[in-house]
A and B are shown apart, each in its own frame.
Chain A
């Protein structure tokens, strides 16, 4: 079964009602259009359900529209022609929704109509007569309220009665005939003039405030800052809990497993690496939960226009808001969704700058470094956190402007976007969205990142360090620490072990690579350990934190220290702190701006049509990041901090 309908008609809510947790977002095979697939239990058997993206027509020259048409006709490889097309029509806007119904019915597909938003329609004084609409369309019509589940069982039961229509329908290409036909149905069956269901004056006033050049921008900034503050303030509790649990699992495993290389791999490599990644899941879940709530209220469409006014000045089109917004989750789907942008030059500009925007993979790094910089000041941390996002946006916009002035001369296409009715957001939808994205992150973390973490653990653990050969250097390190750090004998014991494990790391493959490349990062203040972290995060940014965890995990004798504290307390070879305020600040700026994602480069090459774009993206972003990080370090040091 396939769900088809206009955007903002409650299609996703209905899909969630039907499938619940048994669903996931995937790209339709051979395309970059994302659809959700799930299964729904109905009449004792499982039905496979595909939720296509909302489209205004299946005849438009747009990827989604072409995709929907191909899916209905069974032309999409890997997706069989649907037995039933569930047409989702918004009862409050029936005249327009009937157009797509007419298009789909004309294909001869076996259809059932779900009439959504019937509660809102009756509030607007429309009395819908489903049986009369049914007579016009010659297929089952079921009124539903997807939000509270009213009518869902009736809808399921009617799926068995899906049929190809034999009603006399207008030719979908004859606009006038279609309008006459749809208006006729609305007049007959909805008890109102087409267009009579005006939205309230309250919407007018809200719109005026939300898209206003000044108040709109202020509200946008306030809402985004509030969003990030909530994430920062609330995610701490589950994060602590996850760290605690992984700490116990690691401790338990090392007590039951025989000593040796396998135990080291499991406890230090796998459990340690997993902990360093999964711990940031709460933030990702919260972010998508809140974004879904915002989207549901109807605010995000208004925000698109607020942002359009800004983005247009930088040569980016209105449609770029969708890829730019989703780039805050991950640049890869964002670059793929840049196909929504019709003009090729517009599209390449969006693809080139999208990775500047702070993706969720950068979150763990931000959290770690902000923890170092503003340990006791969560409000300030929240502000700088929002600042990181702002810096990414500014870098993206300026780069876009530069590209439009040089390589991609031209201007952006004007924007057209429906502004959905304001409404109370659905908790259920938000929870399911968060679940969906969290699962996606876990799947990614479970494969690529874990693989990288294990390779890294191997690189940092081998070749094995012979302690007796390194005693001299370890002792000299210890002496230095004792001289600078006081005379507590217990601390000295710990510091000795610490120094030994650092010497072991310096001896390892990872240490050698880090030392070799370190001069490049010397002006930014990074020692070899941070350099190894930066280099390994090229495969995926979130790896930085787990790399650092593995690199500095020598000192785990201290009562089960959390991943973050371990990294915060790590020291350079000379005993000075690894992360000083100036280093942490420059590292933060570097991570905001650097192109450190191998998979993204591959996608850029494919979507922009050539490796030259990917190489340009890599070179430009790295240069900008290095320069900005250097300036940041200089500024912080000029401000009197080490």
Chain B
């Protein structure tokens, strides 16, 4: 079972698939590996939110997390 939500709503440790990234920072996030179809793991929730993508860690302010659409699997 899967359902769509945003990155900020997940608990630490969840693994999800990215659906969509915000318009403003989308190109940068995608270049950093946070792209639609990519798998991410939430290593820390809060401010900042830390996600793990392809073995690298990215810190995101919660404001951005609210705009990242994800699908939990």
Contact = CB atoms under 8 A, between A and B. Distances in A.
Interface of A: 56-57, 59-62, 92-93, 95-96, 99-100, 124, 175-176, 179, 194-199, 203-204, 207-208, 211, 213, 301-302, 304-305, 308-309, 312, 318, 413-421
A23 B20 CA distance: 43
Contact of B50 (A414, A415, A419): A419
B64 to A, nearest CB: 5
Contacts of B24: 413
A418 B58 contact: yes
B23 to A, nearest CB: 13
Contacts of B61: 308, 312, 318, 414-416
B29 to A, nearest CB: 7
Contact of B59 (A176, A195, A415): A415
B28 to A, nearest CB: 6
Interface string B11-55: 000000000000011011111110111110101100110101111
A195 B54 contact: yes
Interface residues of B, number: 33
B64 A416 contact: yes
A119 B56 CA distance: 16
Nearest to B61: A414
B12 to A, nearest CB: 9
B62 to A, nearest CB: 8
B48 A308 contact: yes
Contact of A203 (B48, B57, B60, B62): B57
A318 B48 CA distance: 11
B27 A199 contact: no
B27 A60 contact: yes
Contacts, number: 111
A309 B53 CA distance: 23
Nearest to A203: B57
6 contacts: A62-B28, A93-B54, A99-B31, A195-B39, A203-B57, A414-B63
B32, B55, B56, B63 interface centre (most CB from chain A within 10 Å):
B55
Contacts of B41: 198
A312 B61 CA distance: 10
A208 B33 CA distance: 22
B3 to A, nearest CB: 22
A416 B55 contact: no
Nearest to A418: B58
Contact of A211 (B29, B48, B52): B48
B52 A199 contact: yes
A304 B60 CA distance: 11
Contacts of A418: 32, 56-59
Contact of A199 (B25, B38, B57): B57
A197 B54 CA distance: 7
A93 B58 CA distance: 13
A199 B32 contact: no
A96 B53 CA distance: 9
B27 A179 contact: no
A204 B27 contact: no
Nearest to A192: B55
Contacts of A207: 43-44, 50, 57
Contacts of A195: 38-39, 53-55
A325 to B, nearest CB: 16
